[in-house]
Structure 1
Amino acid sequence: MDRKNPVAVVTGVGPGTGAAIARRFAREGYSVAMLARNRERLAALERDIPNSHAYQCDVTDEAQLDATIDAIGRELGTPKVLVHNAVGGAFGNFMEIDPKVLDQNFQVNTMALLYLARRLAPAMVAAGEGAIIASGNTSALRGKASFAGFAPTKAAQRILAESMARDLGPKGVHVAYVLIDAVIDLEWTRKRFPDAPKEFFITPAAIADEVWHVAHQDRCAWSFNVEIRPFRETW
């Protein structure tokens, strides 16, 4: 491994969006640290994606995060990009959900972003460059009845990211929120919507392309709120 390669940290790496983001950054010459809880799935992706590196980690556990970030620094180098793609979700109205589930989703979606940024942003500020991107969805903007266990945590995540952007932007660190207003093309979503046309879905690779673009925007034209959706999506 060439320690001169820039380092990207991607959380929530599974077979869909997370893997696509890791693959996109690795293809462009990054050493990619892939974080997730599932060791076997990470190991398979590590074998499949050149220049990727698996780190089993629960992003809600600060002790695990500290150990993982220390290992990334020793083995790969100081991260230049963070993509917080890990997500916790649940369906149900406010009477149906278990309050503990809402709290757990808050830990994954919002607190983990805080934990990660507090650990990685100082080095980015010192270097005068870097990018922190959170992957969001429409629940960050509206609270539908059946999303009571999820939407509040994504709204909080977006506001936290905005607060970080206002603080870190003048210091040279780009913070952005990529809001995915679409059904992602995955095996389980295809089964849920078996009659939907191809245009109904957004592909993980297309999401990864936009995340890559946002992470490398010219600093004279930085975005914060970035919304992406299929051309036939009603909004």
Structure 2
Amino acid sequence: MAAKHTALIVGVGASEGVGAATARRFAREGFHVAVVGRTAAKVDEVAAEIRAAGGSAEALVGDAAVEADAARFVAAADAQNTLLVVVQNAGSNRRDSILELQRADFEQLWREHCLGGFLIGREAARRMVPRGSGSIFFTGASGSLRGKAGFAAFAAAKAGLRAVAQSMARELGPRGIHVAHVVVDGGIGGARLLGRAPQLRDERGPDGLLSYEAIADTYWQLHAQHRSAWTHEIDLRPWIESF
């Protein structure tokens, strides 16, 4: 049966990551999936994997923090099937002393997380509000809630995104749009982290790092919630993580 709805997943990198896992999760539920990233080879690989497994997917390349790109992604996702779900997962991290942090680097993280989230969320809402339904979800972090030493740029960007998500939820919820913010508190056992520090898998032990597939399941569960009991914010962490 042909897909009737589209899920737009923004911020898809390696196959072993949250974006790719979320795309696969929605594809298994019968969605056509539009996977978005800045590296063509990575999004092409993820889209090909989904199609090889019997799903429906397309790859889109660009930068969600660029207004024209954000509008293009949403328009493409809504072109053949109704855009029903958007997951904004884009953005990187960096560690700098506040004494050494450069203005350009601070601004770049704000653009990736906060501005990109706003642009994607706004463009999606413009499509969804007239229909009275849809889900817009944002990937947050522990930095969304507190600023640690060395992470001023990341914390400012993530806290700003959280505020955007809250404002959107309060405005759009009564109009039928489910807006949720997912706080990911801990290391994710994917290619990005383990590529830099493979020893963490053994150091943390079984289930000591967040499973990207389990995070993807949470996004699906949020979308499947009945509107009488919507979650706006949820925090995810490994069972051994202190908080």
The two structures have a TM-score, normalised by structure 1, of 0.94
- 1:125-165 CA-partner distances (Å, limit 9, x unpaired): 11111111001110000100111121111001001100100
- Aligned pair in 2 of structure 1 residues 79, 91: CA closer, same or farther (>3 Å)? same
Cα distance in structure 1, aligned partners of 2:168 and 2:64 = 19
1:195 aligned residue? 203
Cα distance in structure 1, aligned partners of 2:7 and 2:98 = 37
8 Å Cα contact 1:132/1:173 also seen in 2: yes
Superposed, which structure 2 residues align to 1:45-84 within 5 Å? Answer: 45-49=46-50, 50-74=55-79, 76-84=80-88
Letter in 2 for 1:199: D
Matched, 1:118 2:122: yes
- TM-superposed CA distance for 1:83, in Å, is 0.3
- Aligned pair in 2 of structure 1 residues 79, 142: CA closer, same or farther (>3 Å)? same
- TM-superposed CA distance for 1:185, in Å, is 0.2
Cα distance in structure 1, aligned partners of 2:205 and 2:22 = 24
8 Å Cα contact 1:93/1:149 also seen in 2: no
Cα distance in structure 2, aligned partners of 1:111 and 1:124 = 20
Cα distance in structure 2, aligned partners of 1:123 and 1:187 = 33
- 1:33-56 CA-partner distances (Å, limit 9, x unpaired): 100010111111111012121001
Q: Any gaps of 5 or more consecutive residues in structure 2?
A: none
- 1:91-133 CA-partner distances (Å, limit 9, x unpaired): 1122121111111111110111111122111221111111110
2:9 aligned residue? 10
Range 62-71 or range 27-36, more displaced: 62-71
1:92 aligned residue? 96
Aligned length: 233
- Aligned pair in 2 of structure 1 residues 200, 66: CA closer, same or farther (>3 Å)? same
* SS of structure 2 residue aligned to 1:79: strand
2:106 aligned residue? 102
8 Å Cα contact 1:78/1:123 also seen in 2: no
Letter in 2 for 1:197: G
8 Å Cα contact 1:88/1:104 also seen in 2: no
Cα distance in structure 2, aligned partners of 1:183 and 1:122 = 34
- Aligned pair in 2 of structure 1 residues 198, 189: CA closer, same or farther (>3 Å)? farther
The two structures have a TM-score, normalised by structure 2, of 0.91
8 Å Cα contact 2:71/2:120 also seen in 1: no
Cα distance in structure 2, aligned partners of 1:132 and 1:125 = 11
Letter in 1 for 2:229: A
8 Å Cα contact 1:136/1:178 also seen in 2: yes
- TM-superposed CA distance for 1:170, in Å, is 0.6
8 Å Cα contact 1:138/1:179 also seen in 2: yes
Matched, 1:211 2:219: yes
2:33 aligned residue? 32
Letter in 2 for 1:180: V
* SS of structure 1 residue aligned to 2:164: helix
1:20 aligned residue? 21
- TM-superposed CA distance for 1:167, in Å, is 0.3
Q: Any gaps of 5 or more consecutive residues in structure 1?
A: none
Range 195-204 or range 219-228, more displaced: 195-204
Cα distance in structure 2, aligned partners of 1:13 and 1:101 = 22
Provide the identity percentage: 34
8 Å Cα contact 2:7/2:77 also seen in 1: no
